[in-house]
Amino acid sequence: MMRGPDSRSSSLYMPLNPRQRQHLKALAHKRKPVIIVGAGGLSEAVLKETELALAHHELLKIRLPAAGPEGRKTLMEGICAATGAEPVQLLGRVATIYRPGKKPRIVLSAPK
């Protein structure tokens, strides 16, 4: 089941504050990309694998194709919109996204 931006619950999917984003960046630093988007771009198979990986890991690194910076940003936004995830960071060809699981494994500080 794909989640769109309209399916976000305001209590579960609150935008990340800078402190939470920094914490997630630190956690993602040692991780390797789990999803690799090829030259074909965003396909149904890529989105399905991203959904499965988010359900299992919550915090993902995704390797994007060698498009320009705007193309990579658009791809990351498309993945986030399709999966209901929050963008954490886009650094070169690697995007980091986060979506809490049904039983969250990553504890974030409360928004201030």
pLDDT of residue 111 exceeding 80, the answer is no
Query: From CA 66, how far away is CA 69, in angstroms rounded?
Result: 9
Q: Say whether 90 sits in a helix, a strand or coil.
A: strand
Query: From CA 104, how far away is CA 54, in angstroms rounded?
Result: 11
As for how many domains the chain has, the answer is 1
Q: pTM higher than 0.85 for the full model?
A: no
pLDDT in tens, 73-108: 999 999 999 999 999 999 999 999 999 988 888 878
**Buried-exposed string 59-84: b where 16+ CB fall within 10 A, e elsewhere:** bbbbebeeeeeeebeebbeebbebbb
In a domain, 51, yes or no: yes
Q: In this structure, are residues 109 and 23 in contact, taking their beta carbons and an 8 Å threshold? A: yes
In a domain, 23, yes or no: no
In a domain, 24, yes or no: no
CATH for 80: 3.30.110.60
Q: Quick one: DSSP state of residue 69?
A: H
pLDDT in tens, 5-60: 444 433 345 688 999 999 999 999 999 999 999 988 889 999 999 999 999 999 99
